[in-house]
Structure 1
């Protein structure tokens, strides 16, 4: 540093040529860039301005269904999620879970799912300045271009199908874009039944993404083998780090990466640990095993159980990205994590649907005929 200072003073000595005049605007921009590079949080916020977060799992609808009044624009203290906190955390896309409690079966599961879809439509209508209901990757991009947060419906519980492919098509028409396969007779501990495989093929034809979170390992592996479109774990950490039934094994993560799927890591303490650094550990592990193109984020806010310390709500995404920057994640990898991977899965699902529809008509299979 002393040498540099001496050199700087030497340029001003009598007889030396004058240094070139400084360009004030250029110097200010350069200094701002240097400060941003030295400050991971500032760098994270700048990156999120270009590549907002696609949050893969929100329990907002179920939480709202228990409130008599709410205003997401003003902020809602009874919830972890509202529009001000989503904007502070640079969330551009939010997947609204339509999953219902496990003891909801038959007509009760169907009606509860339809009620949540109806509520989603009402919430977006009442908050149209901030929210935009989307179904495809292009509609997500449109929402972002208009300054809105894109809201996608799903995952829904497969129990809402009532073992009917017609019900699957009806839910798709209503906007559902992912389906959780857990809790059904045709996707159990032994893997997919013949009818279960037909469900997956029909999902491919429609462009409904299979959500493998909470499914038995045999089912997850069979779905990854049968599906021609990308699958996802909507809110799963790495089971190698935390032995939780909703987390994904390394074998499943490897197969997911080979198939171009996506594992969206939650901020739930039970699945990924009590602290922000623990969540970052899971993100590191999934990136290493499945690859940087197969890892995403899932807040799991407004669901059962506490969030990790430092990740109380969606506003905490910038500090999480700052932690990843400190760990050596590149800007390109973080752009994949926050936005690009989710958009790719949505695009690939749409492409698979268009290609499949050219080859096969709507399936008329029934569980009784295939599984006996």
Structure 2
């Protein structure tokens, strides 16, 4: 420990460069993990808000909520299971000069997926909606009248709710009739019984049955099949994994070069009786100090950056994930010291000092 720390103090600039590289890698890993978590939240927030266990959709919809359509009487309700009707469509909402792509959910306000209003009041009539609070950042406000694309129907915002995004689109919650008027326009009365799915809440999905044209899907399976969700997560996770490998490679190169430069010194130390294991431990401790310093500074910079990011940036830091990634970074950094340790073990004292 003394040897490792003393060398760092004597060569501040050299080791500061190593810390700087580790800091930047840690910063990028932590920020990417926050971005991945933020994007996941944007896609699934509204589904988590349902607090359900599964959803009933048509088999031919391929687990796509908006591709599913059936009559609400096609499902036989069982005791011990809570059912909530759901209609869904994507549209563009415009108020004045503000325009935004949104998801419109048609729900029954007496069923369990009714969201909690954080500002204003719940919808009480057809054409009234509760909006995701993220829309306020786009210029929308209470009392706004919304014009929708591809329909003459208009909506009025009566309240806001939090954590309401579906496939990255802010959600508008309205009555089932509101949804049907928007989706079917003049023919909505003939389609007033049609919904996209039933959200179910139950202790076990085995209790839920559906006719052959419908299927019961667990929440997790439904989320994993949201358009782009799996591909997006895989892409960001692969970037993080590659950064781990790059980190180990960079640390290995730096420490190997530093070790090669000190071969003669290590040879003298060995000749004076210091064992290879002692010198190897010194390199490992030195690597641990450098890695821990870089990771902690990277963590601090990441949190600090998050405080100044605009709401439009989908970043959500999960500190347990960051702790895990920091631990992995620390481990791969120590792994990078293996080459230096092997070099030290192979040093012949006589050859190293020119004998």
TM-score (norm 1): 0.22
Greater strand proportion: 2
Max Rg structure? 2
TM-score (norm 2): 0.23
